[in-house]
Structure 1
Amino acid sequence: MLAGCSSVDTLTTPDVTNAAAAGFVDIRPGSEEEFMINVGRRIFFDRGSAELTETARMTIDKQAAWLRANPRWLVKIQGHADDPGSEAANKALSTKRAEAVRDALVALGVDGKRMWIKGYGIERPVTDCDELTCHVQNRRVVVNLREEFDEAARR
């Protein structure tokens, strides 16, 4: 049965491992696409917590380095929650999560004047997933790049 595999010509089989992601053929350094694909913009939290995990800190380290190298970008930090408790409690938790990310970025040398936070609580859930998966994905902060401040910005 395995003999059929030996007919594959490994010298002419294309190496697709390093192929560009669909839709992002030419990623420019310093672009939003580069940030999203090479750095990552989502940071996840444990249930009921605004404490940064080790994994979260690794992502924030990469974000801070990229943001220091690309100072033209403003940063909107959006907190989300899907935890036990009231809507008000989830709004407060999502704000604390966003503050934790902002504070970590500032501690790593990103100018705090470039950033603003918004806690959405349960307003913007992840959709199209089973209940457990959605809950985990909703316990997040999303770091979004902006070219100008929006109405949520506190200047």
Structure 2
Amino acid sequence: MTRIVIAAALGAATLLSACADRPAGSAATGASFGAATASNVIGQAAYAYADRRLVAMSDKFRAEAPDTVTFDFDKAVLDADARRALDAQAAWLKAHPKVRMRIYGHADKVGSEAYNDRLGLRRARAVVRYLVSKGVERNRLDAVESRGEREPVVPTEERERRNRRAVTEVAGFERGYVGDPMDGKRALLGYKEYTFDRIEFAKATSTAGGG
């Protein structure tokens, strides 16, 4: 009985040693975790650069569409310039259907802080309503938030149009998004590497014998 326990322990140690340089569930651990590992390999390959991709998409949005609209004093009405800017935003969003956005409303420092918080929210909501009216799905606009007078572009206590604004930012991607074609190729390469390992493992075990 003792010899059997020792043999089992040595076998386990050998298996662990063989697996030391491999991820859990890879070829060396056998086929029982194959499906889960395949999913993990694909997922890790596709999402490894999620933060970098988000920054790149934010830069792309700002380069290709105006991200800010401004308002008249004490107003949340979109003028012709604001509507043109939002038309460009809506077109960009339709061309990038997996991107989610967040809208921030702002005010200048004239008036009370509480009032300016409410005014900033009205401005953000005006932007959302307009984008939706142009065919952008409401569920892609993650949050509508007021920053009130707390983040001025121009530090002044006086009226300042540049502070009376709403800003649209890239917030993230829809569930299931894997990015551009290069990300898809990266995932495919990961999957091919995984399946190659499994084939080699199967060949090795089929010729190793046993009793």
**TM-score by shorter chain over 0.5:** yes
Query: 3-state SS of the aligned residue for 2:153?
Result: coil
* 1:73–1:114 contact (8 Å) kept in structure 2: yes
Matched to 2:96, the amino acid is N
Matched, 1:55 2:92: no
Report the counterpart of residue 148 of structure 2 in structure 1.
121
| CA RMSD, 1 decimal | 2.1
Query: Is the alpha carbon distance of 1:96 and 1:69 closer, same or farther for their aligned partners in structure 2, counting shifts above 3 Å?
Result: same
Post-superposition offset of 1:37: 1.7
In structure 1, runs of 5+ residues without a counterpart are: 1-29, 150-155
Q: TM-score, normalised by structure 2?
A: 0.52
Post-superposition offset of 1:31: 3.0
Structure showing greater Rg: 2
Matched to 1:51, the amino acid is V
- In 1, the alpha carbon distance for the partners of 2:80 and 2:117 equals 24
Equivalenced residues, count? 118
- In 1, the alpha carbon distance for the partners of 2:172 and 2:65 equals 18
Query: Is the alpha carbon distance of 1:64 and 1:79 closer, same or farther for their aligned partners in structure 2, counting shifts above 3 Å?
Result: same
* 2:57–2:170 contact (8 Å) kept in structure 1: no
Matched, 1:43 2:43: no
Report the counterpart of residue 143 of structure 1 in structure 2.
168
Q: Return 80-89 or 102-111, whichever deviates more.
A: 80-89
Q: TM-score, normalised by structure 1?
A: 0.69
Post-superposition offset of 1:65: 0.7
Q: C-alpha offsets along residues 84-131 of structure 1, whole Å, 9 cap, x if unaligned?
A: 32111100000000000000000000000011210111121124x666
Q: Matches of residues 2-41 of structure 1 in structure 2 within 5 Å?
A: 31-41=57-67
Query: 3-state SS of the aligned residue for 2:160?
Result: helix
- In 1, the alpha carbon distance for the partners of 2:156 and 2:113 equals 21
Query: Is the alpha carbon distance of 1:82 and 1:130 closer, same or farther for their aligned partners in structure 2, counting shifts above 3 Å?
Result: closer
Report the counterpart of residue 119 of structure 2 in structure 1.
93
Query: Is the alpha carbon distance of 1:37 and 1:131 closer, same or farther for their aligned partners in structure 2, counting shifts above 3 Å?
Result: farther
* 1:75–1:145 contact (8 Å) kept in structure 2: yes
- In 2, the alpha carbon distance for the partners of 1:119 and 1:97 equals 8
Matched, 1:78 2:131: no
* 2:65–2:92 contact (8 Å) kept in structure 1: yes
Post-superposition offset of 1:83: 4.9
Q: Return 35-44 or 87-96, whichever deviates more.
A: 35-44
Query: 3-state SS of the aligned residue for 1:49?
Result: coil
Q: Which structure has greater helix proportion?
A: 2
